Amino acid sequence: MATTSAAAPPRLQVEALHSTLAGPFSFSLDAGECLAISGPSGSGKSLLLRMICELDPCSGTAALDGVPRASMSAPAWRAKVVYQPAEAAWWAPTAAAHFKPEQMARVQALLPQLHLSPALLETDIQRLSTGERQRMALVRSLACAPRVLLLDEPTAALDPEATAAVEQLLRTELAAGLALILVTHSEAQAQMLGRRRMRMQDRRLQAMQESAL
């Protein structure tokens, strides 16, 4: 587990982030840490993730390893703070066409960990099952080598076996230093992955008990 000295800035620092729709939100997250957020549908969980990756206009500040978001271009920020919506969209006919050549080695390494056959890369994306697409979306997000990953219900369409594979992969990535914000409806998943837990209610975040790892 990554240990941070008192002087090192947190991996992700969010300060008074708000829009007319939700917030303000303030919290920080260290490398290797997972923040699990639960809460009813429509409470603002996805809005929070969209604001962190700056897909929706918002006020307040955010910083990555102490570097303010405003000092980076938005694409540079989003390449490091990757948001994966609950229903990932695809813009090319096959999964393979969504990756850059330099990402392929990483993709090939990730596929078996999620029980995905490499043949699926060349299959028409519409012919993949919902669960296969959801896991492929996680491959797509991780292939960008993000520092912070914002996951919106990444196992909603998965059977228990595939869910376990995703959770195992996320544990590995956390151990390697990824910071994760996980929106989940699954109490078991939140407990397993989230050292810190928060609850979204009426577009406000409330801290829940901190459980030791």
Interacting residues with another protein (CB under 8 A): 53-57, 73-76, 78-80, 82-85, 87-91, 140-141, 144
Whether the CB-CB separation of 149 and 179 falls below 8 Å is answered with: yes
Task: Provide, rounded to whole angstroms, the least separation between the CB of residue 133 and another protein.
Answer: 12
Task: Provide, rounded to whole angstroms, the least separation between the CB of residue 103 and another protein.
Answer: 10
Task: Provide, rounded to whole angstroms, the least separation between the CB of residue 88 and another protein.
Answer: 6
CA dist., res. 153 & res. 172, Å (int): 18
Q: Hey, is 20 helix, strand or coil?
A: coil
Closer residue to another protein, CB minimum distance, 139 or 193: 139
CA-nearest of 14, 146, 145, 5 to 68 is 14
Note the helical H segments in the chain.
45-52, 74-80, 104-113, 130-142, 160-175, 187-193
Task: Provide, rounded to whole angstroms, the least separation between the CB of residue 164 and another protein.
Answer: 26
Closer residue to another protein, CB minimum distance, 82 or 170: 82
Closer residue to another protein, CB minimum distance, 50 or 196: 50
Q: What is the DSSP string of 99-125?
A: S-GGGHHHHHHHHHHTT--GGGGGSBG
Whether the CB-CB separation of 17 and 60 falls below 8 Å is answered with: yes
Task: Provide, rounded to whole angstroms, the least separation between the CB of residue 173 and another protein.
Answer: 17
Closer residue to another protein, CB minimum distance, 47 or 197: 47
Cα dihedral sign, 179-142-135-107: negative
Closer residue to another protein, CB minimum distance, 57 or 160: 57
